Amino acid sequence: MRQMTTSLTIARLQRAATGVCAAALMAASLAGAPAFAQDRAAPELVAQDQAASPSIGMIEDGAQGDADSNVRTASAKVNGEIITQTDIDQRVAWIEATTQRRLVPQEREQVVQQLVDELIQIQNARESEITITSDEVVQMYDRYAQRELGITSAELDELTRSVGSSPASLQRMLLAQAAWQQLLRRNVAPLVNVSAREVNEQIDRMKADKGTNEYRLGEIYIAAPAGSDAQVEQRMQAIMAQLQETGDFASVAAQYSQASTAARGGDLGFVRLDRLPPELATVVPAMQVGELQGPIPCCGGYSILYMRDKRQVMVADPRDGMVSLAQITINMPAGLSMEEMNRFAADFGQKTQSLTGGCSAVEAQARQIGAEAVLVDQISIRQLPSQLQEMVLATPDGGVTRPYGVAASEASQPLRAMMVCGRSDPPMLDGPTSDQVMEQIENERIERRAQNYMRDLRRDAIVERN
């Protein structure tokens, strides 16, 4: 197994937290995304009685160099099963490594609550005779490593230990997610029924609402049991602060949200206002893409909303069109003052605006001005970063966007501009199919029932904290 340097470890952890945010056209210059791995003896959820109450950290990993890393002192008990300080420290270490920041006490408390919820979910899956084998957990772990991070499970093992966490800690999180989804499929989904009449009525409303806005939202939801509103609101304020600092909604939602959408980074998909609770529907219309709002009292708890995207119902969006581009890049020398950088960028902008001959000649012409051009054929405008989307949409075919880059004098920085080679219009929209509408309604109802189900499980659990 190849050894990973500290800098590579940090880079991979940042990818783990944020995902690959660059546009597809930058792919030639980006390294593959990183991953996480595990001990092969994964935790196992089986329908059987256990003589000894296991803790969340079922694998004792002594490779961290901490003399107290295997201390089994109970920091909390959930129905008699313990959560140790080691379990808490390892999960905190992973979150701090992925977010590159220290957690404040309120955030550490959120981690403890997350571990409590995970154990409640695992226990109830066990009581429902749901079986998730250790081999299945290993497969989930391997898929996460390979698909999300682009590394092997053995490298993920090394990565988790290097930051003070453990493979077992991440495996238990994956186990809890799988257990919860199976619980919902068994105990909640069968109670949800959607009739053909409801589907047809929904389609008729969509046709009547053609041209109105719908919103792609992210949500972080935490329930507030009776008497805990102030405490939960404080937790949500801490989460808001973390979001504003890291800008990584999907990762934070996966870590803290108690809604079933946490497994997909809090993504609600595209929804119309009439599909939202009134408390949220009043806030959403004024939000801009990229904006956060919250905490918002709603549905027996508090929500934080993130506006991922907007579009109009059954109307083609220009951002769904395809575009061919030429990325023109020049390196801005290190050591320039801000005034010198502005002059350099203005000169580069004048030169790129004067390029003639279109994309067939751009590579040769870019070399003449000391730059490099890379052609990217047919990518969706929606795949580009939001600011670049607006620049490309405003630039005619054959035109060049204004230069963009990072102003930093301590090192050489790339300065870029985009030439639009050509574009194709987005396809006309016929609206969702009946199956798609039925699935959307079912998911909404399952989500509402899931929140109530988890609330009841917390209420019935006996939780003791030291």
Cβ(175)–Cβ(135) below 8 Å: no
Query: Is 127 contained in some domain?
Result: yes
Q: Does 96 lie in the same domain as 161? A: yes
Reply yes or no on whether the pLDDT at 304 is more than 90.
Answer: yes
Cβ(84)–Cβ(75) below 8 Å: yes
Cβ(59)–Cβ(41) below 8 Å: yes
The CATH number of whichever domain residue 13 belongs to comes to: 1.10.4030.10
> For 380, phi and psi rounded to 5 degrees?
-75, 135
Q: Does 12 lie in the same domain as 143? A: yes
Q: Does 341 lie in the same domain as 323? A: yes
> What range does the domain containing 377 cover?
318-424
Question: Quick one: pLDDT band at residue 82, thresholds 50, 70, 90?
Answer: very high
Query: Is 193 contained in some domain?
Result: no
Q: Does 360 lie in the same domain as 328? A: yes
Cβ(32)–Cβ(14) below 8 Å: no
The CATH number of whichever domain residue 303 belongs to comes to: 3.10.50.40
Per-residue H/E/C for the chain: CCCCCHHHHHHHHHHHHHCCCCCHHHHHHCCCCCCCCCCCCCCCECCCCCCCCCCCCCCCCCCCCCCCCCCCCEEEEECCEEEEHHHHHHHHHHHHHHHCCCCCHHHHHHHHHHHHHHHHHHHHHHHCCCCECHHHHHHHHHHHHHHHHCCCHHHHHHHHHHCCCCHHHHHHHHHHHHHHHHHHHHHHHHHCCCCHHHHHHHHHHHHHCCCCEEEEEEEEEEECCCCCHHHHHHHHHHHHHHHHHHCCHHHHHHHHCCCHHHHHCCEEEEECHHHCCHHHHCCHHHCCCCCEEEEEEECCEEEEEEEEEEEECCCCCHHHCEEEEEEEEEEECCCCCHHHHHHHHHHHHHHHHCCCCHHHCHHHHHHHCCCEEEEEEEEEHHHCCHHHHHHHHCCCCCCECCCEECCCCCCCEEEEEEEEEEEECCCCCCCCCHHHHHHHHHHHHHHHHHHHHHHHHHHHCCEEEC
Query: Is 132 contained in some domain?
Result: yes
pLDDT tens-digit readout, 414-453: 889 999 998 887 776 667 788 988 988 898 888 888 888 9
User: Which of 134, 152, 186 is at the close of a domain?
Assistant: 186
CB atoms near residue 328 (< 10 Å): 26
226: Cβ contacts below 8 Å, ≥ 6 apart:
none
What average pLDDT score do residues 126-142 get? 91
Query: Is 197 contained in some domain?
Result: no
What average pLDDT score do residues 224-235 get? 85
Tokens coding 199: 């589907």
Q: Does 101 lie in the same domain as 11? A: yes
The listed range with the strongest mean pLDDT (22-31, 59-68, 378-387, 388-397) is 388-397
pTM of the model: 0.58
Taking CB atoms within 8 Å and a gap of at least 24, the contacts of 14-22 are 14/98, 14/100, 15/149, 16/98, 16/148, 16/149, 16/251, 17/98, 17/99, 17/100, 17/246, 17/248, 17/251, 18/246, 18/247, 18/248, 18/251, 19/148, 19/250, 19/251, 21/385, 22/385
User: Which of 186, 218, 243 is at the close of a domain?
Assistant: 186
Q: Using alpha carbons only, how large is the chain's radius of gyration in Å?
A: 25
Reply yes or no on whether the pLDDT at 3 is more than 80.
Answer: no
- The C-alpha atoms of residue 376 and residue 364 are separated, in whole angstroms, by 16
**What's the pLDDT score for residue 42?**
52
Q: Does 154 lie in the same domain as 38? A: yes
User: Which of 156, 186, 216 is at the close of a domain?
Assistant: 186
Reply yes or no on whether the pLDDT at 32 is more than 90.
Answer: no
Query: Is 149 contained in some domain?
Result: yes
- The C-alpha atoms of residue 292 and residue 277 are separated, in whole angstroms, by 17
- The C-alpha atoms of residue 42 and residue 134 are separated, in whole angstroms, by 5
pLDDT tens-digit readout, 385-410: 877 888 898 899 889 999 987 655 55
Query: Is 191 contained in some domain?
Result: no
Residue 164 CB-half CA count within 13 A: 15
Query: Is 175 contained in some domain?
Result: yes
377: Cβ contacts below 8 Å, ≥ 6 apart:
324, 421
Query: Is 256 contained in some domain?
Result: yes
Closest CA to 330 of 347, 348, 351: 348
Q: Does 351 lie in the same domain as 295? A: no
Q: Does 334 lie in the same domain as 289? A: no
Cβ(328)–Cβ(352) below 8 Å: yes
Q: Does 326 lie in the same domain as 309? A: no
Q: How many domains does the chain have?
A: 3
Q: Does 450 lie in the same domain as 309? A: yes
pLDDT over 90, % of the chain: 33
Q: Does 361 lie in the same domain as 337? A: yes
Cβ(152)–Cβ(37) below 8 Å: yes
What average pLDDT score do residues 286-291 get? 90
Q: Does 358 lie in the same domain as 305? A: no
What average pLDDT score do residues 233-241 get? 89
Tokens coding 357: 């001959």
Reply yes or no on whether the pLDDT at 339 is more than 50.
Answer: yes
What average pLDDT score do residues 308-332 get? 86
Residue 194 CB-half CA count within 13 A: 19
